[in-house]
Every structure is written in C-alpha cells, then in structure tokens.
Amino acid sequence: MTHNLDASLDDVIDRALSDQRIVGTVVLVARGGDLVYARAAGDADRERGLPMALETVFRLASVTKPIVAAAALAMVERGDLALDAPVSRWLPDFRPPGPGGAPAEITVGQLLSHTSGLSYGFLQPDGGPYLAAGVSDGLDLPDRAMADNLARLGKIELFFPPGAAWNYSVGLDVLGAVMEQAVGKPLPQLVDELILRPLGMSASGFYVDSAGQLATPYIDGRPPRPMQEPDVSPFFELSGIRYSPARATRPASFPSGGAGMVGTAGDVLKLLEAVRTGGGPVLSQDSAASMLSNQIGELTVTTHGPGWGFGYAGAVLKDPAAAGSPLRQGTVSWGGVYGHSWQIVPDRETTVVALTNTAIEGMSGVFPGELGAAVAAAVG
C-alpha cells in the first residue's frame, strides 16, 4: 500500500505544482498510528525563494475548528459547559432575533454543530446582512474586539430557528467567547492548556510575532498571486472571502475559534490522531466519538449535499453513493479557506492532512479532491 500511495500522492502534488494550481504544500498521511507519508513541496514564499518545509507554520483558517471544538468538549467533560445549555447563560446580551423577531436561545451544542441559525458573511451575496453590519468572519478586520463583533452579530435576525437546519457559520467564534466567560480565561490560554500542551502541539497558537514566521498566502490564479492586505477571493457567485493576513500578527484581533489559529501540518495531525484513537490525553472516548459521528440527524449539510452528515469535527460521509463520492463511508473531512484539507478514515485507521498556501484551490479545488481519491484507492 505504502509504495502505491507514495507514487499516487507524489503525482497529485507534482501536477498541482506544475499546473501552477498551488504554490506549496505539506502533506502527511498516518496509518495505524504510523506516519507513512510526509512531503513538503513547492514554496512557502515564492518571491523570496523560500522552499516549503515540514515545519512550515500556516494560517489554519477553519482547521482551527476541530482544535477549538476539542477544547470545548473537554470543558463539557469538566462541567464548565453543557451542550444543551443556552449561550445566554454566559453571554446574557447575546440573544439574536429569530425569524419573526423574538429573541432566540442558542445552545452550546448548536454552535458546535452549525445548527444555530448563524451564518458566514462569505456565504452571503454582496450587500448581505453580515457585510452590511460589518460582522467579521474571523479572517478579516484585524484589531476587532470580540465584544464589538458579538454586538453586531447579535442584532441580525437568525437565518432559521436554532436546531431547525444546518448552516456553516461563525458559531465557533461565538463559542470561543462562551468558553472565555465560562472560566474567566482567554481562549488562547484555554486551548493551550486543554489541547496544545497535552498533545505537544508546540508550533500552534493564535498569534505570531511577524508574518515572516508563516507561509506566505496566495490567491488562485495561473500563477497564484500573493495575497494583499486586505484581500478578497471570489467564492462562487457570493460576496467573496475576505482576508486580512496581518490578523495573525495582531493580538488585539479577537481570537477566532472558527478561523484564527496558526500551526503546522504535524500539529494538526497530532490533534486528529488523538481524536481518531479515542481522545488520548485530552478527551474521553465518547467525546472523541462525537467529533467523528453525525450529530445533526437528517439535516442537509448544504456545503456538501446528499449523503453527508456533520460531527463536531467536520462533515461525515454517511452514504458515498448518494454523495457521489469516491471516499469511504464514515470518512470525516473538512478544510480551511487559506487552502487546507484534512480527512480521517476511521475504519482504515488513516488520517490525512494537506496544508497549502493557496486559496481556495487547496481547500476545495482539484488538488484536495485528487488527494482524497488517491488515499481512498490506496487504503481500499
């Protein structure tokens, strides 16, 4: 398997680089707890001629979510939070109007599962309510305080009653604020104490001293162009994804539980492997299982379509045939808009992390699709 996998993944990576779809990448594959593939390829900074390295630190975007979700579940286990508790217990002023205008109660579990009725600005058209209100998606508007963002968000009508549907959202940002209030500690400190230190994720956190410590981000093109400050990447026919790369160097920016962390592929692999193997030193088996199993019943995962559910870590493939997917049933996967993807194949004890510095090809373009198919074919 390993030889075939090596050749297949090398081919996918080499073609993505030669076709100028991505600038650089780090791809890791673990099988049965062993690292069976590790490659850094392309450039971390093309203009400066800096090659990608296995230790390169990336802006993680939504690869942040499973890390913060694990920290939240650890707090549930300690009794600091409860999945069925209303967010207003810790954020009494955060009761957005539901459809019809009456204040709505959102639970911690609904924030984790993206069934809260919240959304993302980049999933709305130009002039959408989040953009009109100046809400940050956790990727933009550096130096924005959490209280300011929550105040803006809390005035906007929810897209549906909490629990009634699934919609990808800033829920993990709100959850980060809940976590802080629950124990009176900043989110970066909580995540460090509960997840990063126990798992040895020493290169990960929310902020760095200078942008030079991170892979330089690029936006799709042939060749991809260096990301500006700020910048917008087209995203379907919607308003576009708004980026501020400087956010990672400015600790006055609220710590986004949905998109604000930085880290290495190796650190991300440590977290995903801990979850896959039952929680390790950070979570109980039940909590780890909840991250990898569908938590939303028959609700539709609108980003993926039929055949998919959603666990607390990411999308769960319930029915490959209905989804038209080459991946194995039970595969859990997600990505990040700076150009990342990851997947766990539980019944094959396989975990894949693919971080790139090219948005959004590295998240939802040809590259992650071909990588996933290559791994699925190799593991059988």
Tens-place pLDDT, residues 350-380: 999 999 999 999 999 999 999 999 999 999 8
The tokens for 251 are 């600790």
Q: Is pLDDT above 70 for 2?
A: no
Please write the tens of the pLDDT for every residue from 276-289.
Answer: 999 999 999 999 99
Q: Which residues are CB-neighbours of 327 under 8 A, at least 6 positions away?
A: 317, 320, 333, 343, 345, 372, 373, 376
Q: Is pLDDT above 60 for 1?
A: no
SS (H, E, C) 71-138: HHHHHHHHCCCCCCCEHHHCCCCCCCECCCCCECCCEHHHHHHCCCCCCCHHHCCCCCHHHHHCCCCC
- Cα 354 from Cα 25, distance rounded (Å): 7
Longest dimension (CA), the chain: 59
By 3-state DSSP, what share of the chain in percent is helix, strand and coil, each rounded to 5?
35, 20, 45
The tokens for 168 are 């990808």
Phi, psi of 236 (to 5 degrees): 50, -140
Please write the tens of the pLDDT for every residue from 145-167.
Answer: 999 999 999 999 999 999 999 99
For residues 329-348, give the mean pLDDT. Answer: 98
Taking alpha carbons only, the member of 182, 212, 209 closest to residue 71 is: 182
pLDDT computed for residue 380 by the predictor: 83
Q: Is the peptide bond prior to 360 cis by the omega test (within 30 degrees of 0)?
A: yes
The tokens for 373 are 């198919």
Q: Are 223 and 20 in contact (CB under 8 A)?
A: yes
Please write the tens of the pLDDT for every residue from 66-105.
Answer: 999 999 999 999 999 999 999 999 999 999 999 989 999 9
Q: Are 218 and 367 in contact (CB under 8 A)?
A: no
- Cα 104 from Cα 157, distance rounded (Å): 9
- Cα 62 from Cα 343, distance rounded (Å): 13
- Cα 242 from Cα 252, distance rounded (Å): 18
Percentage with pLDDT > 90 across the chain:
98
The tokens for 329 are 């049933």
Q: Which residues are CB-neighbours of 147 under 8 A, at least 6 positions away?
A: none
Please write the tens of the pLDDT for every residue from 290-301.
Answer: 999 999 999 999
What CATH class is the domain 2-59+213-223+264-379?
Answer: alpha beta
| Residues taking part in catalysis | 62
Place of tokens 């989804």: 323
Q: Any idea what DSSP says for residue 30?
A: E
Q: Which residues are CB-neighbours of 3 under 8 A, at least 6 positions away?
A: none
The identity of residue 205, as a single letter, is G
- Cα 204 from Cα 211, distance rounded (Å): 14
Residue spans per domain, the chain: 2-59+213-223+264-379
Please write the tens of the pLDDT for every residue from 46-57.
Answer: 999 999 999 999
